[in-house]
Chains A and B, each alone.
Chain A
Amino acid sequence: MGYTKDQLLARLKELQIDFFCYDHPAVLTVEAQAKYVGHLGGALSKNLLLKDKKHRYYVVSALANTNIDLKVLSQRLGLGKGGLRMAAEEALQEILQVPLGCVTPLALINDSARDVSLLLDQGFKSQQSCYFHPLTNEVTLSISASSLDKFLISIGRQPSYVDLEANPAVGKDNPPDLASLAPSGVPALPDKVENAVTSIPTGNDGLTVKKPTKLAGEAKSLAALQKEKLQKVQSSIDPLAEATNIEKLVKEIMDKTSTAFLNEITKDLNDPQIAPSVSDVVKRRVSSDLEHMMMSLKNAAYTQGFQAGFQATLRSSLQSLSMQK
């Protein structure tokens, strides 16, 4: 399971990072958060979990008033136009292991997020303290950018600060300037074993520190085995089975349709986070019906083929029988 707020804060303390915590009722938006901590002088952040067409994920963490244009960002990352979109709700739970409205760079402490790329607004560097959620919506963590760096380095990350508002031309002579920040590996599916490793809290005494590494070794080899199995299965993929995979087809249709809609709608919206949740709702409702209709189609097509095959065999058997006479 994912890290808890307390485990995260304990880790910050171990690293001797200075921070403040402010408790408040659960907040889902920056505006709501501002009501409780906006007057305290720190910099509120807005955090997005994005996904590209190759199912790679990105956390973009920016000052609340920085303008983020997903289309520009997508090109700068080398994903082409419209290659980036908001990730689905389920991804928050599965990959970052945080609730809705709680995207935060601190979630990268979870192993399930190891393939997620992090883009930080360079505006954070000039702020005395920045506000992020420490894995829960009910607390705001106040921390300086350099402390955040220290934390990120401790979990094996290189902090990458970017001018998120820049809009450089991307073309033949100007390669995408952020391409190096796109994740390189294929994200592994979060599996039971790896979750078990991250849930062991690291302690100061020698005993608990040893256990995780041993388990980590086993976990890695088991995970490697599972990856191998996955690859083996993928190499022997059956084209007919792929073509009749209804769930996959419906998902592709819905993704294409909703991306097209989203790109049109988000052109004028200030808060790019509303439209994706609307499209998620629409997707859910339509997907279910679409899947049923596709199953009817599949079964009917199979039946027609089956009949034809049966008739063909019958004819040829009858023919060879009559020829024998």
Chain B
Amino acid sequence: MAEEPKNGDAVGSGVGGREAEEEQVVNPWEVTAKDGGKIDYDKLIEKFGCQRLEEPLVRRVERLTGRHAHVFLRRGVFFAHRDFNEILDVYERGEKFYLYTGRGPSSEALHFGHLVPFMFTKYLQDAFKVPLVIQLTDDEKCMWKNLTVEESKRLARENAKDIIACGFDITRTFIFSDFNYVGGAFYENMVKVAKCVTFNKVVGIFGFTNEDHIGKISFPPVQAVPSFPSSFPHLFSGKDNLRCLIPCAIDQDPYFRMTRDVAPRIGYQKPALIESSFFPALQGETGKMSASDPNSAIYVTDSSKDIKNKVNRYAFSGGQDSIENHRKYGANLEVDIPVKYLGFFLEDDAELDHIRKEYGAGRMLTGEVKKRLIEVLSELVERHQRARASVTDEMVDAFMAVRPLPHMFS
């Protein structure tokens, strides 16, 4: 579900073909900027019809949770939403909500871009003390990436381990894979949703064509239905009015536009969304982050030596070509990847401001910025690997067991 930005990695014939050549393309299977440039997020918000996540909302979150807002909120990584203010209203009144996010397990190797929505979701779980369901869409990958059923189920379990290592609380988290869980009340909701969406509609939203197989065309309800608490009778029975908040990357918006459209028609609450921008590839915004090129991203299995090597050799620099020019003109912060990555992962606002100022003025050199980034990333990777080491198959089984979570709101 939470996909990495795959510039040009479009799968499925004709997906995105309905868009004019000059415009940017953003949907769950393709993300391409206009003319090989940068994604225009303002245009995207306007086109999709969601809201910008403004400062006052961030302050409100801080007040309600009694703690510093997450780095991603402070830096505008999560920058758009639908009805997030309603969720905060609900929470302020003392009512609860639950979180729903997911991943399409298409590859074994996860990189930092994949972890972004999970890191943020963990913060939401801790800050608001609410339960979380995580969907692993192994069926989707089986269909779109043409994997065998066994392979996609295996990848789902492997990815689950890295997801668990992000630090989710087992007493409040239910992880499920579609191949294991679809059925019962979940499937009943899928049928209810499917009845409300015509073929024409899905073609319009997702760009399917007559050549696409019927598996793809009937998939969207699978990703829609976890937004409804009645899909999880072992967790939320009797709580039909429980609101749902979905943290995801903005390319997933189409699924939930469809869901929000259908919800009132079947007597359910609309899910709220909080959406992130795309994580840039190491070689720059216009580069392709691809699973086949290990140097396009920092993976969670990288050693600190790998990280040092990748950042020093492949991270696109906005610095000038010579030291004299750099001192004169300063760095181009718009395209500089190390500074952008620090924007994601350096916690200290004051230090980031300082770096941006000094680097932009040419007083700090690229090497220094890269060195700091390597430190920050190495710490993160080390912490992840330490947590990952204690995730066993039994733990995955426990997270995925269909069990009640009696302390999920404590």
Tally of chain B residues near chain A (CB < 8 A): 27
Cβ-defined contact, B401 with A306, below 8 A: yes
Residues of A within 8 A of B194 (CB): none
Q: Which residues does chain A contribute within 8 Å of B390, judged by CB atoms?
A: 296, 299-300
Stretch from A6-14, A58-66, A236-244, A261-269 forming part of the interface with B: A236-244
Instruction: Confirm or deny: B92 has a beta carbon within 8 angstroms of a beta carbon on chain A.
Output: yes
Residues of B within 8 A of A245 (CB): 410
Contact B167 A295 (CB under 8 A): yes
Per the bound structure, the CA–CA distance linking A244 and B408 in Å amounts to 12
Given contacts A189-B66, A296-B387, A296-B390, contact A303 B398 (CB under 8 A): yes
Chain A residues near B397 (CB-CB < 8 A): 303, 306
In this complex, the member of A191, A295, A298, A299 whose beta carbon has the largest number of chain B beta carbons within 10 angstroms is A299
Residues of B within 8 A of A229 (CB): 94
Contact A307 B94 (CB under 8 A): no
CB neighbors of A among B386-409 (8 A): 386-387, 390-392, 394-395, 397-398, 401, 403, 407
Q: Would you call B410 and A238 a contact (CB within 8 A)?
A: yes
For chain A, the count of residues having a C-beta within 8 Å of the partner chain is 26
A291 to B166, CA, bound (A): 12
CB distance from A286 to the nearest CB of B (A): 12
Asked if residues A298 and B169 are in contact (CB atoms below 8 Å), the reply is yes
> Which residue of B is nearest A284, CB measured?
B347
Q: Mark B160-192, 1 if CB is under 8 A from A, else 0.
A: 000010011111000000000000000000000
Partner of A240, one of B164, B391, B407: B407
- Residue A292 at the B interface, CB < 8 A? yes
B383 with A292: CB separation less than 8 A: yes
Contact A303 B126 (CB under 8 A): no
Residues of A283-307 at the interface with B, using a CB-CB cut-off of 8 Å, are 289, 291-293, 295-296, 298-300, 302-303, 306-307
Q: Does any Cβ of B come within 8 Å of A247's Cβ? A: yes
Closest CB in chain B relative to A84 CB, distance in Å:
23
A35 on interface, CB distance cutoff 8 Å = no
CB <8 Å contact, B92 and A306: no
Closest Cβ of chain A to B264, distance in Å, is: 29
Question: Interface residues of B: mostly helix, strand, loop or mixed?
Answer: loop
How far is it, in angstroms, between the C-alpha of A246 and the C-alpha of B126 when the chains are bound? 9
Q: Are B395 and A238 in contact (CB under 8 A)?
A: no
Given A298-B169, A299-B170, A302-B171, verify A247-B126 contact (CB < 8 Å): yes
Distance in angstroms between the alpha carbons of A306 and B400 in the assembled complex: 12
**CB-CB contacts of B18-39 with A at 8 A, as 1s and 0s?**
0000000000000000000000
Q: How far is the CA of A183 from the CA of B172 in the complex (A)?
A: 37
Any B CB within 8 A of the CB of A325: no
Of A90, A240, A295, A307, the residue contacting B169 (CB under 8 A) is: A295
For the complex, is A192 an interface residue (Cβ under 8 Å from B)? Answer: yes
Chain B positions 354-385 with a Cβ under 8 Å from a chain A Cβ: 383
Instruction: Pick the residue among B63, B395, B410 that contacts A299 (CB under 8 A).
Output: B395
Are A306 and B398 neighbours in the complex by a CB distance under 8 Å? Answer: yes
C-alpha spacing A289/B66, complex, angstroms: 20
Residue of B nearest to A299 (CB): B170
One of A247, A292, A303 near B392 (C-beta < 8 A): A303
Is A307 within 8 A of B407, CB to CB? no
Q: Which of A90, A247, A293, A295 has the most CB of B within 10 A?
A: A295
Q: In the complex, what distance in Å separates the CA atom of A82 from the CA atom of B394?
A: 46
Q: Give A281's nearest chain B residue, CB to CB.
A: B348
CB nearest to B389 among chain A residues: A296
Complex interface: chain A residues within 8 A of B171 (CB): 241, 244, 298, 302
| Closest partner residue, chain A, to B173 (CB atom) | A299
A298 to B167, CA, bound (A): 10
**Contact call A307/B410, Cβ cutoff below 8 A:** no
Query: How far does the alpha carbon of A175 sit from the alpha carbon of B160 in the complex, in Å?
Result: 60
Report the nearest B residue to A302, measured CB to CB: B170
Least Cβ distance of B168 to chain A in Å? 8
Q: Which residues of A lie under 8 Å from residue B68 when comparing CB positions?
A: 90
Q: Are A292 and B407 in contact (CB under 8 A)?
A: no
Q: From residue B301, how far is it (CB to closest CB) to chain A in Å?
A: 18
Chain B residues near A295 (CB-CB < 8 A): 167-169, 387
> Which chain B residues numbered 302 to 343 have a C-beta less than 8 Å away from chain A?
none
- Residues of A contacting B387 with CB < 8 Å? 292, 295-296
Measured in the bound complex, the distance between the Cα atoms of B391 and A307 in whole Å is: 14
**Are the C-beta atoms of B167 and A292 separated by less than 8 Å?**
yes
Are A300 and B395 in contact, with the CB atoms below 8 A?
yes
CA distance A218 to B391 in the complex (A): 51
In the bound complex, what is the Cα–Cα distance between A240 and B408 (angstroms)?
Answer: 12
CA distance A306 to B396 in the complex (A): 11
Instruction: Find the A residue at minimum CB distance from B59.
Output: A1
- CA of A291 to CA of B127, assembled, Å: 13
Q: Are A302 and B398 touching (Cβ within 8 A)?
A: yes
Task: Give the nearest-CB partner of B401 in chain A.
Answer: A306
Bound together, the chains give a CA A292 to CA B170 distance in angstroms of 13
Judge whether B407 and A303 touch: CB under 8 Å: no
Whether A241 and B66, one on each chain, are in contact in the complex, defined by CB atoms closer than 8 angstroms, is: no
Q: Are B92 and A192 in contact (CB under 8 A)?
A: yes
**Contact of A241 with B407 in the complex, beta carbons under 8 Å:** yes
Q: Determine how close the nearest CB of chain A comes to the CB of B410; give it in whole angstroms.
A: 4
Question: A193's closest neighbor in chain B, by CB?
Answer: B92
In this complex, the member of A240, A244, A300, A303 whose beta carbon has the largest number of chain B beta carbons within 10 angstroms is A303
**Are B410 and A241 in contact (CB-based, < 8 A)?**
yes
Contacts of A192 in B (CB 8 A): 60, 63, 92
Name the interface residues of A163-190: CB closer than 8 Å to any CB of B: 189-190
Q: How far is the CB of A314 from chain B (nearest CB, A)?
A: 13
Q: Which residues of A contact B398 (CB under 8 A)?
A: 302-303, 306-307
- Could you list 10 A-B pairs, sorted by A, with CB under 8 Å? A240-B407, A244-B407, A292-B383, A292-B386, A295-B169, A299-B164, A299-B169, A299-B170, A299-B390, A307-B394
7 closest Cβ pairs, A-B complex? A241-B410, A303-B395, A306-B398, A299-B170, A303-B398, A241-B407, A295-B167
Interface residues, chain A, with chain B CB atoms under 8 Å away: 90, 189-192, 229, 238, 240-241, 244-247, 289, 291-293, 295-296, 298-300, 302-303, 306-307
Q: A238-B407, A303-B170, A303-B392 given. 15 additional CB < 8 A pairs?
A: A189-B66, A191-B63, A192-B60, A246-B169, A247-B126, A292-B386, A296-B167, A296-B386, A298-B169, A302-B170, A302-B398, A303-B395, A303-B398, A306-B401, A307-B398
- Residues of B in contact with A (beta carbons under 8 Å apart): 60, 63, 66, 68, 92, 94, 126, 164, 167-171, 383, 386-387, 390-392, 394-395, 397-398, 401, 403, 407, 410
